[in-house]
Amino acid sequence: MEKMGLDRVYLQEVMVPHWVRGAKEKAQARGAKGKGIMLNVCALGGSVGTNGKLKAQVIEVQSMQELAALPADQVKGKFVFFNRPMNPLYIETGRAYGEAGDQRRSGAAEAAKRGAVGALVRSLSLAHDDFPHTGTMRYEDGVTQVPAAALSTNGADELSQLLKADKTLTVELEMSCQTLPEVKSYNVVGEIKGTKYPDEIITVGGHLDSWDLAQGAHDDGTGCVQSMEVLRLLKASGLRPERTVRAVLFMNEENGTRGGNKYAELAKSAGEKHLAAMESDGGGFTPRGFNIEADAATVRKVQQWEPLFVPYGSGEFTPGHAGTDIGPLKSQAKALIGYECDSQRYFDIHHTAADTFDKVNRRELELGGASMASLIYLISKYGL
């Protein structure tokens, strides 16, 4: 950003959680007869470790409701194995991800309430492969903290089959993850001042943090690059925005949203006026359009520009959730806007060791950045 010749580049200090995975996790399923079978697992973000090897029988469930209905003696002292897959019938994969996500977020806490020693969770992916998917999970105050691990989808299918053949099967899990004291980090902010209404701000952002298994290329390196690309394109085209355009690289979206909360807090305390905020956090794939979170009249105002985007394949302007990092600005901004791209491949690699730079297609990335810059330019020129 400093090399782009922006009007201002600065950092916003923010304290963030510090969780470390430790040594590579190990898991093995072992039946009454035969040798153990290794399972591909990874700790869920925020999980406690196993304090050595943790061995127990397994009870498989498809939902929180099924777990709650089980007799206590069927759960106590066991691993609860949450094996509900993402629903493949939805065209929008984010909807399937959202519905299946309660297992990852709350599975360990709900299992512990029933006396389980740990939670094993099917990875949130429609792909069938050997990559376990991490992601944040939450404990509850007053509830025993038990380890939580994700199984690859292939591993989950295999464990389910093994359990059908042998209900007394055991799983041995070893994880050394731990939570350390909070540390100081930063949001990174760069802006171009508006020529007519510099006090009206349009924010565009992605998040800097990624899960530790890979580079976080699509989640969310692409969103960061596209947010900076909005500023670069405005400068390269010579189109000075009439309102101030600010790119924010948010810290700590994945396990706390501290960066998004801090940005909104500082904006409010400074009396800043946010006209709109846009977020890219769904990968850098082929653009489809935008989700708009605003009152009905504002949604219609933004939708008037839809025909300009249709020739470029990014003309789907629909009401809907805009994004996690810009969510805290809801009471301060007239509209929150989420960049939407083709979602079919995103959850194949999201939160896994496969989320690497070679998966990013430069042309798709550039088309997305240009779509974002175009809508932000229109808002900067015509307002809402």
pLDDT digits (tens, 9 = 90+) for 181-233: 999 999 999 999 999 999 999 999 999 999 999 999 999 999 999 999 999 99
Mean pLDDT of 19-47: 93
Mean pLDDT of 26-51: 93
Instruction: Give the model's pLDDT for residue 125.
Output: 96
- Rounded to 10 degrees, the C-alpha dihedral 157/48/26/73 comes to -50
Rounded CA separation 348/148 (Å): 21
CA atoms within 13 A on the CB side of 260: 24
Share of the chain above pLDDT 90, in %: 98
220 cis-preceded (ω within 30 degrees of 0)? yes
Which residues is 37 bridged to in the sheet? Answer: 29
Whether residue 254 is predicted with pLDDT greater than 80 in this model: the reply is yes
Whether residue 31 is predicted with pLDDT greater than 90 in this model: the reply is no
Q: How far is CA 49 from CA 19, 75, 116, 150, in A?
A: 11, 20, 15, 13
Cβ density class 102-113: b for 16+ within 10 Å, e for less: ebbbbbbbbbbe
Residues ≥6 apart with Cβ < 8 Å to 345: 283, 285
Instruction: Give the model's pLDDT for residue 35.
Output: 79
Segment 256-307, tens digit of pLDDT: 999 999 999 999 999 999 999 999 999 999 999 999 999 999 999 999 999 9
Instruction: Give the model's pLDDT for residue 381.
Output: 97
- Residue 253 catalytic? yes
Mean pLDDT of 342-370: 97
Task: Identify whether the C-beta of residue 273 lies closer than 8 Å to the C-beta of residue 384.
Answer: no
Whether residue 33 is predicted with pLDDT greater than 80 in this model: the reply is no
CA atoms within 13 A on the CB side of 188: 12
Of 110, 200, 242, 253, the active-site residue reads: 253
Segment 63-97, tens digit of pLDDT: 999 999 999 999 999 999 999 999 999 999 999 99
